[in-house]
Amino acid sequence: MIGDWSRTDTCSSITKKTGIYGFHKGAMSYAFKEDGTGFIGKDGKGRIFLGGDNSTIYSNNWLIRKEGMMMDLDDGFIHMSNKVAQ
C-alpha cells in the first residue's frame, strides 16, 4: 500500500504518515515512512526498526526494554544488552 495509512489496532509503532506499507496474512510486515523511519518484521515477532534522523538500527526489545541490540551507524557504536530475569 502506498499513501496515507493509519491503523486503529494495537500496533503502537504506526501513526498517521505517508509511506509504503506491506502486509503478510493481514499483519503489517514492513513500512518505510515519509519521515525516514521504518521497520521490517511483524509486531512482537522480531521487528527491526530503522531510525531516520539518527542512522540507527534497533530491535523491538531495545525500543521497549533496552534489551537486545542497537547499532548507531554514524558514531560506529553497537549497544547490546541481555537482561535475564531472576
Q: Is 0.75 surpassed by the pTM of this model? A: no
| Number of domains forming the structure of the chain | 1
Q: Tell me the residue range of the domain where 20 lies.
A: 2-81
pLDDT digits (tens, 9 = 90+) for 35-81: 889 999 988 768 999 988 788 999 888 888 888 889 999 888 998 98
Q: Distances from the Cα of 27 to the Cαs of 1, 15, 41, 62, 78, in angstroms?
A: 13, 15, 10, 21, 30
Cβ atoms 59, 29 nearer than 8 A: no
Question: Is 6 within a domain?
Answer: yes
The answer to whether residue 66 is domain-embedded is yes
Establish if 86 belongs to a structural domain: no
